[in-house]
Structure 1
Amino acid sequence: MSYTGRCECGAITLAIGAAPLATRQCWCRQCQTLAAGSPTNNAIFPAEAVAIDGPLASSTWTAASGNTLTFHFCPACGTQVYAQSSARPHMKTVRFGVIDQPHDLAPQAIIWTQDAPGWAVFDPALERHPRQPAPPPSPPQD
């Protein structure tokens, strides 16, 4: 399985050579701030499977989980590309919006539901977590 992607202005390109370990919709307050009040939709990949070309800027802060999160984005157009947690440096959490369409990605779970606004609508078919769930398992090593 592979994916490609790019930021809005095309300065950043991605090549992802693996299936996602998990896909999640996140309603934490930081994601809501980044997504103009909505959740972010993310695919978690093994870090080594994500190749990025182009200059990235980053911002780092402490998340509600207590982990340090670093968000990487295009400095020219501001497109969010991926996030990485200090607790899981072997994984990159790539934003759905930066992955080229068409793709087969859809959230499998909704996380940080306790932070969602009262008007948020959750797909009843998806697993839900009020806070940060356990990380997805790493793929088996060959």
Structure 2
Amino acid sequence: MKYPITAACQCGQVSYTLAKKPIKVLACHCQECQKLSSSPFSITAVVTKEDIHFQGEMKHWSRLAESGNQNHAKLCPTCGTRIYHYNPEQPDLIKLKLKPVGASVDKDFAPMIHVWSSEKPAWYQIPTGVEALAKQ
């Protein structure tokens, strides 16, 4: 995949340009991510703040995670698409929730690790050779 790449929310009001491939990509099987994605897991691409540029207005939302930390998120106020998560303790890292155009088959966005596999549906099998953690 050639960089920079772009992505947008469902309505197109929020978009981003990513300059480099993600540091890591993970699949989270926790029940909150299952709700978020309406699927067995949610994909998160971790990138540095300096490698991404956002356009458009975003709304802030947060919830208390099982760890006791606040889980902060930015989303499109029009269509509700989750754009990214962040931890105020690590301000230089962005946890993207959007799939860039053309990334469905690209290895740059294939999960390197599956977390919260203890909450995955029994029918889903994590691919052989991919690391899996019971929690985070």
TM-score range, shorter chain: 0.7 to 0.9
Aligned-partner Cα distance in 1 for 2:66–2:54: 27
Offset from partner CA, 1:75-94 (integer Å, 9 cap, x none): 11111111112342221111
TM-score, normalised by the number of residues in structure 1: 0.83
Aligned-partner Cα distance in 2 for 1:65–1:3: 33
Offset from partner CA, 1:21-65 (integer Å, 9 cap, x none): 101011112111111142101110012222111011121012123
Selected match of 1:119 from 118, 123, 126 = 123
Q: Tell me by how many angstroms 1:96 deviates.
A: 4.2
Offset from partner CA, 1:98-132 (integer Å, 9 cap, x none): x1214442111101111223223211221111111
Aligned-partner Cα distance in 1 for 2:51–2:43: 19
Structure 1 range deviating more: 51-60 or 100-109? 100-109
Structure 1 range deviating more: 70-79 or 80-89? 80-89
Q: Is the 8 A contact 2:74 2:84 kept in 1?
A: yes
- Aligned residue number for residue 79 of structure 2: 77
Aligned-partner Cα distance in 1 for 2:115–2:135: 6
Letter in 2 for 1:52: F
- List alignment gaps of at least 5 residues for structure 2: none
- Aligned residue number for residue 100 of structure 1: 101
Report runs of 4+ in structure 1 exceeding 4 Å deviation.
none
CA pair 130-48 structure 1, distance change in 2 beyond 3 A = same
CA RMSD of aligned residues (A): 1.7
TM-score, normalised by the number of residues in structure 2: 0.86
Letter in 2 for 1:27: H
- Aligned residue number for residue 88 of structure 1: 90
